[in-house]
């Protein structure tokens, strides 16, 4: 009975991994085939554009304190199962953003970052573990987020602190679906088009098109290999159960 159960579980995992691999391959193909358009020539529908961020409203990043239009931060702990959880567990975190303008020489567009997939370089990326005590900066960040760096017997916990932000004047690559600006959306900005994740997948990257394509390709390969491995295990278990 257990063999049948585990075989079915691995078969389900194989199906899920194959689905994720197909989705990543589809996104890679979309990025590869979509032609970059100047912002002033962007029309309704799928677009690929690049420009500089001009803020409409500024936020303050919780950890770094830097002005930004979008942030996402997290404090995570690596656990080995002693507390009933395995892998990285998020202890604290948050995400917020405001619509901003993307501008080039030809025009402007309003971009809605919340709900978008933001692939940006970290403003903060600090970690500590047993043989690597937290730096003074990380200790201050942990204190600010309300997490103690000490675990059992006063030993350092295996922690990671990260923060990703979009700052004004950052050069940004955007691929998604555009629509004409709604009433009041581009009233004072001169923007004609708006890119909103509510219309479909919206991806933002401060590392350009090639990096985004590379990430999708790596994701497709990783899930495809996982699907093959899970399918092989499922086949072996179910074959043994049938025998």
Q: For the whole model, what pTM was predicted?
A: 0.81
User: Which tens digit of pLDDT belongs to each residue from 185-218?
Assistant: 655 567 778 898 988 889 999 888 888 888 888 8
Mean pLDDT of the chain: 86
Tell me if 11 is assigned to some domain: no
Residue recorded with tokens 């309003």:
110
Q: Contact 194/183 with Cβ under 8 angstroms?
A: no
Tell me if 96 is assigned to some domain: yes
DSSP for 69-90 reads SEEEEEEEEEEESTTS-EEEEE
User: Which tens digit of pLDDT belongs to each residue from 68-104?
Assistant: 999 999 999 988 755 556 688 999 999 999 999 999 9
User: Which tens digit of pLDDT belongs to each residue from 50-67?
Assistant: 999 999 999 999 999 999
Tell me if 45 is assigned to some domain: yes
Tell me if 226 is assigned to some domain: no
Tell me if 44 is assigned to some domain: yes
| 151 vs 179, residue with greater confidence | 179
Cβ neighbors of 118 (< 8 A, separation 6 or more) are 70, 72, 164, 166, 203, 204, 205
Q: Tally helices (H) and strands (E) across the chain.
A: 3, 13
Please determine, for residue 31, whether its predicted confidence score (pLDDT) is greater than 90. Answer: no
Give the model's pLDDT for residue 240: 65
Q: Which domain holds residue 185?
A: 37-212
Distance from C-alpha of 204 to C-alpha of 117, rounded to nearest angstrom:
6
Count of domains for the chain: 1
Tell me if 137 is assigned to some domain: yes
Distance from C-alpha of 222 to C-alpha of 61, rounded to nearest angstrom:
32
| 193 vs 166, residue with greater confidence | 166
Tell me if 16 is assigned to some domain: no
Cβ neighbors of 50 (< 8 A, separation 6 or more) are 36, 104, 171, 172, 173, 174, 208
Tell me if 3 is assigned to some domain: no
């Amino acid at each position: 009975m257990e063999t049948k159960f585990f075989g079915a579980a691995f078969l389900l995992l194989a199906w899920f991994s194959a689905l994720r691999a197909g989705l990543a391959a589809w996104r890679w193909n979309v990025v590869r085939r979509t032609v970059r358009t100047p912002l002033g020539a962007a029309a309704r529908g799928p677009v690929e554009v690049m420009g500089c961020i001009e803020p409409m409203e500024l936020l303050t990043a919780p950890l770094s304190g830097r002005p930004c239009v979008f942030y996402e931060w997290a404090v995570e702990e690596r656990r080995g199962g002693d507390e009933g959880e395995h892998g990285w567990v998020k202890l604290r975190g948050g995400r917020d953003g405001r619509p901003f303008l993307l501008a080039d020489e030809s025009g402007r567009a309003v971009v809605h970052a919340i709900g978008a997939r933001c692939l940006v370089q970290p403003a903060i990326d600090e970690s500590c573990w047993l043989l690597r005590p937290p730096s003074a900066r990380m200790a201050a960040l942990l204190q600010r987020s309300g997490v103690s760096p000490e675990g059992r017997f006063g030993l350092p916990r295996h922690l990671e602190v990260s923060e990703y932000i979009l700052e004004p004047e950052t050069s940004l690559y955007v691929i998604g679906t555009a629509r004409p600006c709604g009433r009041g959306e581009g009233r004072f900005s001169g923007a004609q088009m708006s890119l909103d994740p509510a219309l479909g997948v919206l991806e933002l990257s401060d590392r350009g098109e090639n990096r985004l394509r590379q990430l999708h390709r790596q994701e497709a390969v990783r899930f495809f290999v996982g699907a093959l491995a899970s399918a092989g295990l499922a086949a072996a278990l179910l074959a043994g159960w049938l025998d």
